[in-house]
Structure 1
C-alpha cells in the first residue's frame, strides 16, 4: 500500500471506537492492525494470525469486536 493509499484509507476508516459495523473488509482490518491486506489474507489461509475471519460470499469479513479485544491487549 502506498502512502497515498494509506492516507485515503485513514480518511475512509473511522476510529475503531466509532465503528458501527459488526464485520469489516480486509483492507479496513489491515488498517486497524497497521498491516498490509496481504498479511491478513495470509492469516486467513494459514490460520496463523491473532484472529480468523468469516467468509461471506467468498469474501473475508473480520469481526470488529474481536479486533477491539486484540488491540486492547486482551485475548480471545
Structure 2
C-alpha cells in the first residue's frame, strides 16, 4: 500500500484550485444573494417558522454546484483537535 504524502506545495495548489472555482461560482450566483442581515426562515415546503436566518443568504438555498464543490473538497481537520 502506498502512502499519500501531502506536501505544502500540493496543499497550496489544491487551495488555489478550490479558491478559483469557489470564486467563479460566487460570481455566477451574485445576483441571487439576498443582502438582508436577518431574514425569516421558511421550511422547504414554504411554511414559515419562528426562526430567522442571518444573512447574506442565497435565494433558493445553496446552489448545487457550490454544494458539490464544497463536499468534494472537504478536508479532515480532526488531527488538529
TM-score range, shorter chain: under 0.3
Q: How high is the TM-score relative to the length of structure 1?
A: 0.25
Q: Which structure's residues are more often strand, by fraction?
A: 2
Q: How high is the TM-score relative to the length of structure 2?
A: 0.25
| Larger of the two Rg values belongs to structure | 2
